[in-house]
A and B are shown apart, each in its own frame.
Chain A
Amino acid sequence: MGNFAANEGLSIFVILVWLGINVFLFVHFYLAFLVERYYYTRVILGHALSWARAPAACLNFNCMLILLPVCRNLLSFLRGSIQYCSRTAARQLDRNLTFHKLVAYMIALHTAIHIIAHLFNFERFMDSQLMINSSYLPYVLSQIGNNDNRSYLNPIRTNETNPTIVMFTTIAGLTGVVITLALILIITSSMEVIRRSYFEVFWFTHHLFIVFFIGLVLHGVGRIVRGQTIESVKVHKPDECHSRFEDWGKNGTDCPEPVFAGNPPMTWKWVVGPMILYVCERLVRFYRSQQKVVITKVVMHPSKTLELQMKKKGFKMEVGQYVFIKCPSISQLEWHPFTLTSAPEEDHLSVHIRIVGDWTQALYTACGGDKTVVQDAWTLPKVAVDGPFGTASEDVFRYEVVMLVGAGIGVTPFASVLKSVWYKHVQENKNVFTKKIYFYWLCPETQAFEWFADLLQSLERQMMEKDMSDFLSYNIYLTRWKDAEAAHFRVQYEAEDDPITGLKQKTRYGKPNWDNEFSAIATQHPGSKVGVFLCGPTALATALGKQCISHTESGTEFIFNKENF
């Protein structure tokens, strides 16, 4: 229980505040339509009016929020400023995509409530036009404003129509249908199955949000929600006059005909700020993409990994950050994220790209991967780089003891960390706060990441030369092997260097026993804050998160950070 508050406390607090604001807005606007001004509207609609307006207010709030977590440049900037005050608060910004999805679900929920309430509203408005009986108050109310067509209450002005036609001929109805359709298409193409398999479908369909926001702002322009005007309430009190509706406006009564007007649109006030911020965000991304990036070196590693070394003027990065890369000759619209594998101390930026899909395959061909002669620099394609964007690994050097766990391709950000550690300790001789790094690498086979094994080898050699072999303790776990290989391992057991990686520290097989590992580290470093960094699958994240929470002993605090790709 000990670490739970440290790890999850701020997230829970943020969620509770957000839910609280939603509940408050819902109840407040529900009650706001139970006042005198809407008495006659409620005569026709009943409580369905409030049930429609309350989620509308929540929708305004959530549509304002939804654009903010995806302004990654803004978040990066905030992250940089906040982390001097509070590491925990800065880590909160890692969960931006989770928050974006939560807000999206809330928008979907409120949309559903709003639509169902309006179905009842339309039906009741239609009913009151069709029940032609001048002793029936809803009918009488619907006839008000027939002369000037301005002071009416019932937006359905005639009885020769039906709700479906009304919906398609009012601004509110038409925009409502359009934005709901856009929302549904966005949601169905954002399902995890589609997102993980066909990212382009998800990305292009998601741009329907532009249609969504335009429709949302225009949705209230028709002023279809109507109540009595303030002046009218002063001279015509609904409480007293509602039963005497047959005498309204006649000589001698003190109940003149009530006058109704619509509410002005409010949504734009909520969303205009975030919309401007998002436009700025896209402009920043565009500007960055226009800056010149030169590919200085292309290296083809085994197992279909392409390393690109590039130079961009004025590019500054921290460890473990990622960039988005676009190659206009392959696709004008696609930006793909890759973790940077170079250290900030190096003079170039590098990424290691695994060739798994259409775009990466095309990049491989464009960079001359299938040719054996050396390529001239001018034949290499132009690329654009947006970033760098900060993720959890930036925080690595703020902890005294660090556990790095990389699974499969998740090991990539740690390449940058380890290189930077090396540069800091040796070449620049700085006093680094981090005293000990425990590195765990889980993979089915190391061949796919042979370049990383090379990096570890060179680090190991250099550490031995400088007599610093216990600064970094690394453990490689092979989670899959063939029977034939197993025989080979058994035979080579006594050899000094590991048969697979050539490193001094032996490769282990199977999965690590996290309980033991965490306990060992806790005993070795009592009283310190241990940062646990993971880049890997969700199942491992859950397991490690649990271990962090349960292994706080004698003051050792394990703080868990997860990359979110």
Chain B
Amino acid sequence: MGKIEWAMWANEQALAAGLIYATGGIVGVAGQFRGWQFAAFGIAAGVFVCLLEYPRSKRGKGTSVERTGQYCFTVCVNAFGPLTRNYYVRAFLHAALCVPGGFMLATVLGCVCLGIASLIYLSAAIHGEHWEPILPRTEPPKRVGDSIKEPPQNPPPRPPPELRRKKADKLETAAYDNPMSVTVNE
């Protein structure tokens, strides 16, 4: 497993954990369970984690596959700079967010999944990975040289006429007209 980028798996795990956290929270609030406040927190934390994890990072090596419509999320997440770029911060954030989920049955599963995601992110951070935004490349399109738009005004420079003349027997295959008439045996 030499070159696994742990962050890719951590990202999938965290996204799933966010969904599970939010779903557990919705059930807890809708059913008005005891401790529904924790469930409400679970919804907020779950949604936040989903928004944070939705944009995939650019891979260190290889082609990155974007999620559908992730560009706006990329821009938002990128705006926070080192807070979101650094995986130690993310690991700690997920660990902190998951703790309140442990106090209520409906959100326990989300809590544990988010905790696991936090551990995988920690592993990614230890391996020196960090988040890179996938931004569309904005290199300027290959510009055709300006001179091509207009035909040349002058003929190309040529050696003086005496040197340009072709022999008579090669007149047919010559690419240009002789500057002076030639006859055989010259």
CB-CB contacts below 8 Å: B15-30 with A: 16-17, 20, 23-24, 27-28
Of B76-84, B91-99, B103-111, B136-144, the segment with at least 4 beta carbons within 8 Å of chain A is B103-111
Pick the contact of B24 from A119, A126, A181 — CB < 8 Å?
A119
Give the CA-CA distance A265 to B12 in the complex, in Å. 34
In the complex the two chains form, is B12's CB within 8 Å of A189's CB? Answer: yes
Which of A123, A181, A187 is the most central at the interface, judged by chain B CB atoms within 10 Å of its CB? A123
Say if the beta carbon of B8 comes within 8 Å of chain A. yes
Nearest chain B CB to A121 CB, angstrom units: 10
In the complex the two chains form, is A185's CB within 8 Å of B13's CB? Answer: yes
Say if the beta carbon of B65 comes within 8 Å of chain A. yes
Task: Find chain B residues with CB under 8 A from A177 CB.
Answer: 108-109, 112
Say if the beta carbon of B2 comes within 8 Å of chain A. yes
Say if the beta carbon of A358 comes within 8 Å of chain B. yes
Task: Find chain B residues with CB under 8 A from A191 CB.
Answer: 12
Give the CA-CA distance A328 to B113 in the complex, in Å. 35
Nearest chain A CB to B40 CB, angstrom units: 15
Give the CA-CA distance A198 to B106 in the complex, in Å. 33
Give the CA-CA distance A312 to B185 in the complex, in Å. 80
Knowing A120-B31, A123-B33, say if A164 contacts B108 (CB, 8 Å): yes
Question: Range of interface residues on chain B?
Answer: 20 to 34
Task: Find chain A residues with CB under 8 A from B20 CB.
Answer: 184
In the complex the two chains form, is A201's CB within 8 Å of B12's CB? Answer: no
Identity of the chain B residue whose Cβ is nearest the Cβ of A120 in the assembled complex: B31
Say if the beta carbon of A194 comes within 8 Å of chain B. yes
In the complex the two chains form, is A201's CB within 8 Å of B103's CB? Answer: no
Nearest chain B CB to A186 CB, angstrom units: 11
In the complex the two chains form, is A167's CB within 8 Å of B105's CB? Answer: yes
Say if the beta carbon of A188 comes within 8 Å of chain B. yes
In the complex the two chains form, is B1's CB within 8 Å of A198's CB? Answer: yes
Give the CA-CA distance A372 to B24 in the complex, in Å. 63
- The 0/1 profile, CB within 8 Å of B marked 1, for residues 107-131 of chain A is 0000010011001101100100000
Knowing A200-B4, A358-B2, say if A119 contacts B106 (CB, 8 Å): yes
Task: Find chain A residues with CB under 8 A from B4 CB.
Answer: 197-198, 200-201
- The 0/1 profile, CB within 8 Å of A marked 1, for residues 100-140 of chain B is 00111110110011001000000000000000000000000
Pick the contact of A163 from B16, B27, B56, B105 — CB < 8 Å?
B105
Identity of the chain A residue whose Cβ is nearest the Cβ of B103 in the assembled complex: A164
Say if the beta carbon of A374 comes within 8 Å of chain B. no
In the complex the two chains form, is A126's CB within 8 Å of B16's CB? Answer: no
Say if the beta carbon of B149 comes within 8 Å of chain A. no
In the complex the two chains form, is A164's CB within 8 Å of B116's CB? Answer: no
Give the CA-CA distance A553 to B31 in the complex, in Å. 60
Task: Find chain B residues with CB under 8 A from A198 CB.
Answer: 1, 3-5, 8-9
Pick the contact of A194 from B12, B28, B105, B113 — CB < 8 Å?
B12
Identity of the chain A residue whose Cβ is nearest the Cβ of B65 in the assembled complex: A193
Give the CA-CA distance A140 to B66 in the complex, in Å. 57
26 contacts between A and B (CB under 8 A): A112-B23, A119-B105, A162-B34, A162-B105, A164-B102, A167-B108, A181-B109, A181-B113, A181-B116, A184-B16, A184-B113, A188-B13, A188-B16, A189-B9, A189-B12, A191-B12, A197-B4, A197-B5, A197-B8, A197-B62, A198-B1, A198-B3, A198-B4, A198-B9, A200-B1, A358-B3
Inter-chain pairs besides A198-B3, A201-B9, 14 sampled, C-beta below 8 Å: A112-B23, A116-B23, A120-B31, A123-B34, A163-B105, A164-B103, A181-B109, A185-B116, A188-B13, A189-B12, A191-B12, A198-B9, A200-B1, A201-B1
Which A residues have a C-beta under 8 Å from some C-beta of B?
112, 115-116, 119-120, 122-123, 126, 162-164, 167, 177, 180-181, 184-185, 187-189, 191, 193-194, 197-198, 200-201, 204, 358
The 7 A-B residue pairs whose C-beta atoms are closest, nearest first, are A163-B105, A188-B12, A198-B4, A188-B13, A200-B1, A164-B105, A123-B33
